[in-house]
Structure formats: C-alpha cells, structure tokens
Copies of this chain bind each other. A is one copy, B any other.
C-alpha cells in the first residue's frame, strides 16, 4: 500500500495504475474509518483491482469551527484499516495541499444543495461539492463510492458529476448500522454513554415514519410529524428536521403517492452532537426490501 500526501503524486499513482490496465475504485473519506467505510472499501475492492482511499477532513464543509476542531482523527488507525482492506493507494493531503491560500473556486448545486443539510448548515454542501470535484479531477476516470447514510451528499455528488460530465461513476452503498439501528458515523464517538443510548431515536423516528407510509399515509406532513414526535419524546434529543421526500430531488411532494420513490430524512442533535439518518419508505403497493442497511457485525 502506498500513502501519498501531495496531490500531483496522487494523480500520478492512479495514472500509473490505469496505464497498467487497472480500474480504479475511489473511496473519499474524512478518516476516522469505521465499519461503514470498511463496507465501502469492500464494495470498491469487489469491482476494482485498484482501490484508492482519500482521507481529508475538509474544512470547507464544516459550518462551525468547534465542529471542525472536535472532529475525530486517527491517521494511524485509518492506515491500518486501509491496509487490512487491501487498499492500494491512500491519499492523505494536508489542508494547505488541498486548499492552498488564494483558492477561490467553489462548486454548488442549486435546489438539491439548498434544502435540508444545505439550509441547516450554510456552505456545507458547496464545501463538499468543491472538494469532491477537486478529488475527482485528481483521481481521473474511476468509480467513486459514497455511503447512503449521507443521502443528500450522495445525490448532490451524483448530480454534480453528471452536470459537469465528470468521468466518474458515483456508486451509493447501503448504510451500516449498529444492532440497535444507530447508523455508523464518526461523530458517534463524540456521544456520552447516555447520549449513545438516546441516539437510537433517529432510527426509531425513521421506523415510525416508515410504518406510517407502509400503512398508506400519503400526507408528507403527517409522516414528518410522526418522526419529529418520536425525536421530541427523547429528552436528550432536539429535532432539526424530519421530512418525507421525493428520493430523486429531495423535495416534499404534495402527496406521497406522487414520487417514483420516497425517502425519509431526519436530523437531530443528541446533546451537542448533530446526527443525520435516512431510509427508503415503501408504500403499501411496493415490495418491502430489506433496506434497513447492513449491520456493523455483518459489514466488518
């Protein structure tokens, strides 16, 4: 496994691999790798001889300085996780390498980038799009793996790659969950034991929303209320948003019967830690697939 720090070295490493006929699977991460990332690496490895992982805590996507400062980091553990996963190239640039002084360009996605996380965390999604665009430019033709846990981010990156004709296939991967339903997230490490127990409220809210949709509820506000009510009932939690949306563009439809597919979104603060989660919501006529996601035990 090679670890490169400078952007041109990363570009050269992947160019060399491509020249040797290898297909590239790219897994962009902010480090602090957990079983969710391991699932992404495993999926990438199943389809591509050369798996590259980037580890970069992107300052542009943090709307609060204290959130950036407190974001968990452990490069040594991350490199071991990559090594174990059979990763060929790790790209771990510094802030100054990725965002040198004078950087002025940003990439934004209208509509999709303005809702939910876009309005709750101003600048967050443009920060994601900008750094992912740069990463894609450096990587060149590849397939890039993103978790469905950040469903809006996945939709945004997919839209950006299509709109700008980037030579990148964007692949979404099922959310990996703890046995009690909590979606894996690097931020979970910031929860106290009591908060960790309370954090299952996001999944319980999604289950409440799913049950309402499965029973035929077609008013989005009623499903949203079922979810936010579940969160509000948990003393350590405060709801940021809860919504039943069109899975394609994340808008709230007039009736839940309209969109081709539905998605439920929740964001809440557990103590001071902000967590998000989402799931599909099959309507009565639709087949109920097991998209509870993978459990952490199955994924590792």
Q: Which residues of A contact B (CB under 8 A)?
A: 7, 11, 103-113, 129-130, 133-134, 137-138, 140, 159-160, 163-167
Identify the interface centre among A7, A107, A112, A165: most chain B CB within 10 Å of its CB: A165
Top 7 A-B pairs ranked by shortest CB distance? Answer: A105-B163, A104-B110, A137-B165, A105-B160, A134-B164, A137-B166, A138-B165
Question: Looking across the interface, which residue of chain B has its beta carbon closest to that of A114?
Answer: B104
Q: How far is the CA of A160 from the CA of B107 in the complex (A)?
A: 10
Q: How far is the CA of A202 from the CA of B128 in the complex (A)?
A: 43
Which chain B residues lie closer than 8 Å to A109 at the CB level?
Answer: 104-106
Are A165 and B105 neighbours in the complex by a CB distance under 8 Å?
Answer: no
Q: How far is the CA of A111 from the CA of B104 in the complex (A)?
A: 7
Q: How far is the CA of A110 from the CA of B112 in the complex (A)?
A: 21
Are B106 and A107 neighbours in the complex by a CB distance under 8 Å?
Answer: yes
Contacts A104-B159, A105-B159, A159-B105 known; A164 to B133 CB distance under 8 Å? yes
A163's partner among B104, B112, B129, B159 (CB-CB below 8 A) is: B104
Q: Give the copy number.
A: 2
Question: Looking across the interface, which residue of chain B has its beta carbon closest to that of A110?
Answer: B104
Question: Looking across the interface, which residue of chain B has its beta carbon closest to that of A112?
Answer: B104
A108's partner among B11, B108, B111, B159 (CB-CB below 8 A) is: B108
Given A104-B159, A105-B129, 4 further pairs, Cβ under 8 A: A104-B113, A105-B160, A130-B164, A134-B165
Which chain B residues lie closer than 8 Å to A163 at the CB level?
Answer: 103-105, 134
Q: How far is the CA of A119 from the CA of B226 in the complex (A)?
A: 47
A106's partner among B7, B108, B134, B165 (CB-CB below 8 A) is: B108
Q: How far is the CA of A7 from the CA of B164 in the complex (A)?
A: 11
CB distance from A251 to the nearest CB of B (A): 12
Which chain B residues lie closer than 8 Å to A105 at the CB level?
Answer: 107-110, 129, 159-160, 163-164
Are B106 and A167 neighbours in the complex by a CB distance under 8 Å?
Answer: no
Which chain B residues lie closer than 8 Å to A104 at the CB level?
Answer: 109-113, 159, 163
Q: How far is the CA of A27 from the CA of B110 in the complex (A)?
A: 29
